[in-house]
């Protein structure tokens, strides 16, 4: 297998030829565009002339996939290798002179009816079913509070409003820096104490409660603390101009 | 059919957060399967006549749900977050539904384009699942639809999928283009 630095040097060539990895390896050549699996099936069906398809860049893309993919799936890798070896063998039979004729395949490729146009009506029907189904509402599975816990009121705010508040503040978060693995972590109870100290009688957005530069983990942790305070009835939430705002409970009776 | 049995089944269905099979209901209610189905029929008619709840057959079972005429108000109240399936996901899903069990490479062969994104999206939504491995080189994963798929589209079972133009279908049962929850 080629070392990583050698593969890096062929990177430009690979992209120049239109080969993109990791898998499913996409092949783009003057006479064929599609995945490696599709090329394999088309060659087996003799619908593509391999003389028009350079194989070296595909092999390079495969090697890059093996080296660079964080979690290589061995089954997937084996399938790609099988397809590649078949293509190489077929191309060798085409290019190299031989007195013997190319042997016929023992079994033909198992092909399915091509193209999606056969499914067009089915897709439209499924769309129609989906729309009708969305007019029915069922008791949600694995949702709702613990049966032994009295549900807490969120007033005019919904979980979706809370989710949007988190999304907004996450969008402003800084990227996570590299950290030593044994970094001490703040407990949720401690975070709740800090959050409670920040809350007062003013209605403020989550982003206003998080001052200074913060990371995504800080935003999520603060949000969890806020949710726990809401659950315990120590924080209040309401929606203003489509955005969730928070204050300390009890100070603002109209939460 | 005693009204007590009908009421009991209504209570059982009320606390169910998933479609209940007649066998499960019969066992829980201490009834025979025949008595259960008869009571479910009575319950269905009773709910149809009055109230905001109806009984539907969905995903191989029975479940209570709101009546469609209240959909807008209920949706306004619940504010559900719904993500409509994209065209590409719907294509992959339809192919899996009709050709299951099927591998990713076979899906790509039918679509002619890479389908990893669609497959992963459908797996995340629990509309498809791995159902085994194909005994071919590489032993690729085979995909099939789930109960969640039936529930998402309001189908009782795969036999309710409409026929394809070439006449093929998801299984060999009699096929018709269903209208959702049409009266039994």
pLDDT digits over B12-44, tens only? Answer: 999 988 899 999 999 999 999 999 999 999 999
Interval A56-70: pLDDT, tens: 888 888 887 777 776
Q: To which H or E segment does residue B46 belong?
A: helix B33-49
Q: Say yes or no to pLDDT of A21 above 60.
A: no
Is B111 domain-assigned? yes
Whether residues B51 and B93 fall in one domain:
no
Q: How confident is the model at residue A73 (pLDDT cuts 50, 70, 90)?
A: low
> What pLDDT score was predicted for residue B29?
93
Residue B166 lies in a domain: no
* Domain shared by B17 and B41, yes or no: yes
Cα dist. A101→A5, A94, A118 in Å? 41, 10, 38
Mutating which of B74, B101, B138 best tests the A interface, going by the most A Cβ atoms within 10 A? B138
Residue B171 domain flag: no
* Inter-residue long-range contacts of A122-126, CB under 8 Å, 24+ positions, other chains counted: A122/B94, A122/B97, A122/B98, A122/B161, A122/B162, A122/B164, A123/B90, A123/B91, A123/B94, A125/B161, A125/B162, A125/B177, A126/B90, A126/B93, A126/B94, A126/B97, A126/B153
Residues of chain B contacting A25 with CB distance shorter than 8 Å: none
Domain ranges, ordered by start, for chain A? 4-95, 159-175+187-248
Put simply, the answer to whether A122 touches B63 (Cβ < 8 Å) is no
Instruction: Kindly state whether residues B147 and B104 are assigned to the same domain.
Output: yes
Smallest CA–CA distance from A32 into chain B, residue: B112
Q: Extract the residue ranges of chain B whose pLDDT is less than 70.
A: 1-3, 166-184
What mean pLDDT do residues A5-16 have?
A: 38
Q: What does the pLDDT read at residue B129? A: 92
- Average pLDDT taken over every residue of chain A: 74
What is the pLDDT at residue A152? 61
For residue B160, give the DSSP letter.
Answer: G
How far is B145 from B127, CA to CA, in rounded Å?
A: 6
- Residues A225, A226, A231: CA angle, nearest 5 degrees: 95
Statement to judge: residues B126 and B70 lie in one domain: no
Give the pLDDT of residue B13. Answer: 95
Q: What is the pLDDT of residue A232?
A: 79
Average pLDDT, chain B: 85
Greater model confidence, A129 or B173: A129
Domain count, chain B: 2
Tell me if A131 sits within 8 A of B154, measured CB to CB.
no
Task: Tell me whether residues A112 and B99 touch, CB distance under 8 A.
Answer: yes
| Average pLDDT rounded to a whole number, residues A217-232 | 86
* B180 domain-assigned: no
Is there a contact between B64 and A138 if contact means CB atoms under 8 Å apart? yes
Q: How far apart are CA A69 and CA A72, in angstroms?
A: 6
Specify if B172 maps to a domain.
no
CA distance, residue A157 to nearest chain B CA (Å): 11
DSSP symbols for chain A: ---HHHHHHTHHHHHHTT-B-SSSPEEEETTEEEEHHHHHHHHHTT-S-GGGS-SHHHHHHHHHHHHH-SS--HHHHHHHHHHHHHHHHHHHHHHS--SSPPPPPSS----PPP-SGGGHHHHHHHHHHHHHHTT--BPPTT-S--TTSPPPP-TT--HHHHHHHHHHHHHTPBPPPP--TT-----HHHHHHHHHHH--SS-B-HHHHS-SS-BHHHHHHHHHHHHHHHHTTSEEEEEETTEEEEEETTTSTT-
| pLDDT tens, residue by residue, A134-189 | 888 888 766 544 445 555 667 777 778 888 888 888 888 877 666 555 555 677 88
Query: What pLDDT, on the 0 to 100 scale, is given for residue B172?
Result: 37
Taking an 8 Å cut-off on Cβ atoms, the answer to whether A130 and B84 are in contact is yes
Last residue of a domain, one of B35, B59, B77: B77
- If asked whether residues B156 and B92 sit together in one domain, one would say yes
Q: Are residues B99 and B136 in the same domain?
A: yes
Q: Which of A82, A130, A137 sits opposite B137 (nearest CB)?
A: A82
Domain of B73 in residue numbering reads as: 3-77
Contact B17 A123 (CB under 8 A): no
CA distance A124 to chain B (A): 9
Q: Do B71 and A136 touch (CB under 8 A)?
A: yes
Q: Is residue B49 included in any domain, yes or no? A: yes
* pLDDT at position B52: 94
Residue B29 and residue B47 in one domain: yes
Ranges A100-104, A109-113, A139-143, B176-180: which has the least confidence? B176-180
Residue at which a domain ends, from B39, B58, B77:
B77
In whole angstroms, what is the distance from residue B50 CA to residue B46 CA?
7
B95 shares its domain with B116 = yes
Do B94 and B155 fall into the same domain? yes
Percentage of chain A with pLDDT > 70? 71
B67 and B129 both lie in a single domain: no
Look at residue A71 in the predicted model and tell me its pLDDT.
65
Residues B101 and B37 in one domain: no
Query: According to the model, what pLDDT value does residue A233 have?
Result: 80
Contact A76 B140 (CB under 8 A): yes
What is residue B96's predicted lDDT score, i.e. its pLDDT?
Answer: 94
Closest-CA residue of chain B to A130: B153
Number of A/B CB contacts below 8 angstroms equals: 132
Confidence of residue A40 (pLDDT cuts 50, 70, 90): confident
pLDDT at position A7 is 38
State the fold for domain A159-175+187-248. Arc Repressor Mutant, subunit A (1.10.10)
N-terminal to C-terminal alpha carbon distance within chain A: 65
Q: Is residue B62 in some structural domain?
A: yes
Same domain, B62 and B91: no
Q: Enumerate the H helices of B100-144 as residue ranges.
A: 104-111, 116-124
Q: CATH no. for residue B64?
A: 1.10.10.10
Pick from B16, B93, B164: CB nearest A118? B164
* The pLDDT of residue A62: 82
Closest CA to B20 of B55, B74, B63, B72: B63
């Amino acid at each position: 297998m080629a070392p990583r630095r050698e593969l890096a040097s062929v990177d430009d060539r690979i992209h120049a030829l239109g080969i993109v990895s990791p898998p499913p390896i996409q092949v783009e050549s003057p006479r064929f565009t599609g995945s490696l699996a599709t090329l394999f099936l088309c060659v087996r069906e003799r619908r593509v002339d391999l003389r028009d398809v350079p194989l070296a860049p595909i092999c390079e893309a495969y090697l890059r996939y093996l080296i660079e993919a964080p979690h290589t799936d061995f089954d997937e890798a084996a399938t790609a290798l099988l397809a590649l070896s078949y293509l190489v063998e077929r191309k060798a039979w085409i290019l190299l002179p031989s007195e013997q004729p190319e042997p016929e395949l023992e079994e033909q490729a198992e092909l399915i009816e091509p193209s999606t146009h056969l499914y067009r009506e089915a897709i439209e029907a499924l769309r129609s079913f989906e729309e009708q189904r969305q007019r029915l509402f069922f008791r949600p599975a694995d949702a709702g509070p613990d049966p032994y816990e009295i549900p807490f009121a969120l007033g005019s705010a919904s979980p979706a409003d809370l989710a949007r508040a988190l999304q907004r503040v996450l969008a402003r978060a800084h990227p996570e820096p590299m950290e030593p693995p044994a970094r001490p972590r703040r407990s949720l109870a401690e975070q709740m104490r800090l959050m409670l100290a920040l809350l007062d009688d003013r209605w403020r957005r989550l982003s206003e409660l998080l001052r200074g530069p913060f990371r995504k983990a800080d935003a999520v942790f603060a949000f969890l603390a806020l949710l726990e305070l809401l659950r315990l009835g120590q924080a209040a939430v309401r929606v203003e101009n489509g955005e969730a705002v928070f204050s300390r409970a009890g100070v603002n009776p109209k939460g | 059919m005693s009204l007590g049995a009908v009421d009991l089944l209504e209570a059982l269905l009320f606390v169910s957060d998933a479609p209940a099979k007649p066998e499960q209901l019969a066992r829980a209610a201490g009834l025979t399967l025949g008595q259960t189905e008869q009571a479910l029929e009575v319950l269905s008619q009773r709910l149809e006549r009055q109230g905001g709840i109806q009984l539907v057959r969905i995903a191989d079972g029975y479940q209570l749900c709101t009546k469609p005429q209240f959909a807008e108000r209920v949706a306004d109240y619940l504010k559900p977050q719904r993500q409509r399936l994209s065209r590409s996901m719907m294509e992959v899903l339809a192919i899996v539904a009709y050709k299951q069990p099927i591998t990713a490479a076979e899906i790509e062969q039918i679509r002619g384009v890479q389908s990893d994104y669609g497959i992963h999206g459908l797996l995340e939504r629990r509309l498809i699942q791995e159902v085994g491995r194909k005994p071919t080189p590489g032993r690729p994963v085979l995909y099939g639809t789930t109960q969640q798929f039936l529930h998402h589209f309001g189908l009782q079972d795969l036999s309710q999928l409409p026929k394809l133009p070439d006449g093929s279908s998801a299984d060999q049962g009699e096929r018709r283009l269903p209208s959702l929850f049409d009266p039994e």
